Amino acid sequence: MPLLQHPLAILAVLGAIIAAAEWLARRPYLRHLGTAFTAILLTALVANLGLIPSSSPATPLYNGIFGYVAPLAIFYLMLGVNLGSLRQAGAPMLLLFVLGTVGTLAGIVVAMVVVSGKQSIGPLFYALGGMFTGTYIGGSINFNAVAMHYGVSQQGTLFAAATAADNILSALWIAATIALPKVLNRFYPRKKALVPAPLSSETTTADPDAETLNPRDAGILIGLGFCALFLSEKLTTYLPGVPSVLILTTLALGLAQVPAINRLRGNRLLGLVCVYLFLAVVGAYCDIPALLRDGHLALTLLALVTILVLVHAVITFGIGAWLKQDWDMLSVASQANIGGSASALACARSLARPDLELPAILVGALGNATGTYWGLLVAEWMKTSGWF
């Protein structure tokens, strides 16, 4: 039996783990792991040592976090997506981002066929296909949304292996997108495209996690979140074939286009707290001995995402080269797909292209908005298709 069983005691430990993960993720030697994966690892360690419950025996607290906190995380993070601002990204960047999306869709199909996903991954192979599709079109918010819908987040070992594979490839691709333009420009020089003016220095240098929150905005956001959860659950009774996470995402996107709501401060802060709490519980479900024993699964998932990203790269850079596009812009657009807004912004800065910073953030937001839809579509297709 775990040492701590009272829900309040468990919540206290989870809160301490999130704080520790955030602190560790800012240290040079753990920076590339990120807060999310560090939280999973720390909670897995604590749960496997018997301090708090793991998957067996489970606790109703975990079910509550999966049922309410995880959807709220998606809702709050989606409130920051202003689709009206996408026109500022410019047509070339939007076109290259769409090209990268096509590369990701082709990549997951090729990768799943090559690794024989149904046999090598197991009955939830289609859910993994949808998760990787979502995250390599729009970032981890979509990865978590698809995982939550198909129950993968409660398969701790599988989810931890998938997260590890995603983190490894994401880190490698950041390095690749910074290096590739320099190499390619040496052999195939391209004229640098001019795009919209960069963000102000105040906007681009601020810590995206350092967000202010006041009681008025917090009250409105909390009310909107629970109202959206209630509506999404009710609407699923009238639309039984539509996943509740899709309804919730659509509600959040619609509200995000209302200026008064989009300007509310604290949505990212609340979203991050919710997502870290959700991922901490995922870590509690992770059976570390089973994960270490099943090295084949981890290698299979690593091979899957490697093939996916390579196909994405061939299509994005291959067609981009044929269209004689700026190598820097191709790298930033690809990074917006694979890593999301923050990684794309970091890529633009590393390439010394301040003019690409705003487009990077904007097309990353487009990926946030659409990744879950693509992920669920691909997962359902893989589930019923005979290809795999």
CA dist list (Å): 13 to 67, 177, 328: 20, 38, 44
DSSP for 320-345 reads HHHTT--HHHHHHHHHHHHT-HHHHH
d(CA 257, CA 248): 15
Question: What's the pLDDT at 106?
Answer: 97
Residue-range domain boundaries for the chain: 60-384
**pTM score of the predicted model:** 0.75
How many Cβ atoms from other residues are within 10 Å of residue 229's Cβ? 18
Three-state DSSP state, 59: coil
Question: What's the pLDDT at 351?
Answer: 86
d(CA 178, CA 297): 30
d(CA 213, CA 220): 11
Question: What's the pLDDT at 379?
Answer: 96
Residue 282's identity, in one-letter code, is V
Q: Which residues of the chain have pLDDT under 70?
A: 32, 55-58, 193-211, 287-294
Question: What's the pLDDT at 327?
Answer: 93
